[in-house]
Amino acid sequence: MTKEALTKTDFHFQGQQSVYHGKVRDVYNIGGEKLVMVATDRISAFDVVLPKGIPYKGQMLNQIAAKFLDATADICPNWKLATPDPMVTVGVLCEGFPVEMIVRGYLCGSAWRAYKSGVREICGVKLPEGMRENQKFDTPIITPTTKAEQGLHDEDISKEEILKQGLATPEEYAVLEKYTLALFKRGTEIAAERGLILVDTKYEFGKHDSVIYLMDEIHTPDSSRYFYSEGYEEHFAKGEPQRQLSKEFVREWLMDNGFQGKAGQQVPDMTEEIVASISNRYIELYEHITGEKFVKEENDHIAERIERNVAAYLK
């Protein structure tokens, strides 16, 4: 089977009004009412889209997100209407809040890097002294970011700033906070059943007919970080790195090769071996997180297949 990767799309669906090409997803506006979101095989790190696609990545992310949207539909309304293709979700068009709700159960990643450099307050949340990398917070903390325009970095923002700038009303923000913590709790419970720890993740919300909806993907390796439960305590006690299932391994590979998305830096050569190893790590994550075997969709004419499946659904 060929290992084709879908890195760009140019569909013309019935009723299509516009298309937005994001870092990894291409979003088609159908009649100002529905969105057709195509999860491509593009991969980004440090806000840069890497030069090569990762076979099956789009399929995995789309299917994980669809499963979790279904598994959390009792907590809050979400945008998903259907998944007519393994790489596509069709959903309700919402007006998005210009913030991402990032929730952290553990001190790691960028929060740890900030903490290590002496920062003791992130997004208005005070952090106690004496914490160590990968330490669990007493209760999960919410550290929102702004949703940046293409090419710009998302910036940390506090609840106070969000309200001051009018990015959400106090009533809306209370709902976003409530949904964020409830979704994270459910995600944590599902992860625990699979021998995983949901470390941190992000949620995006929007409004449709004055109702707040969960949008976009949830609990995928692109939006979340997972540790293996087994060995967590032991690694933490010894100050060793945790075994993790997330995109962090891609970031680490880039950093080890001198790339952090800064001006003048070159993305290291993505050999076939590197691409295959990233694809395999995503498959490992998919199977761990869903508890199901990953079934590779035939991928030698991906664009034609998507066009056919979406056209049939929109009819």
Question: Using CA atoms, how far apart are residues 215 and 183, in angstroms rounded to an integer?
Answer: 12
Q: Are residues 279 and 296 in the same domain?
A: yes
Q: Are residues 101 and 240 in the same domain?
A: yes
Decide the pairing of beta strands 48-49 and 125-126: unpaired
Q: Are residues 139 and 65 in the same domain?
A: no
44, 60 Cβ separation under 8 angstroms: no
Q: Are residues 109 and 234 in the same domain?
A: yes
Cα 303 to chain centroid, rounded? 23
Q: Are residues 232 and 105 in the same domain?
A: yes
CATH number of domain containing 53: 3.30.200.20
Residue bearing tokens 């790190």: 45
Q: Are residues 83 and 105 in the same domain?
A: no
Look up the domain containing 184 and give its range: 96-245
Q: Are residues 45 and 80 in the same domain?
A: yes
Question: Using CA atoms, how far apart are residues 243 and 33, in angstroms rounded to an integer?
Answer: 42
Residues near 185 by Cβ (< 8 Å), separated by ≥ 6? none
Q: Going residue by residue through the chain, which has 315 residues, state the pLDDT in tens, using 9 for 90 and above.
A: 447 899 999 999 999 999 999 989 999 999 999 999 999 999 999 889 999 999 999 999 999 999 999 999 999 999 999 999 999 999 999 999 999 999 999 999 999 999 999 999 999 999 999 999 999 999 999 999 998 765 567 899 999 999 999 999 999 999 999 999 999 999 999 999 999 999 999 999 999 999 999 999 999 988 899 999 999 999 999 999 999 877 778 888 999 999 999 999 999 999 999 999 999 988 988 998 999 999 999 878 999 999 999 999 999
Considering the entire predicted model, what is its pTM? 0.90
**Phi, psi for 196 (deg, rounded to 5):** -125, 160
Q: How many domains does the chain have?
A: 2
Q: Are residues 152 and 238 in the same domain?
A: yes
Q: Are residues 139 and 238 in the same domain?
A: yes
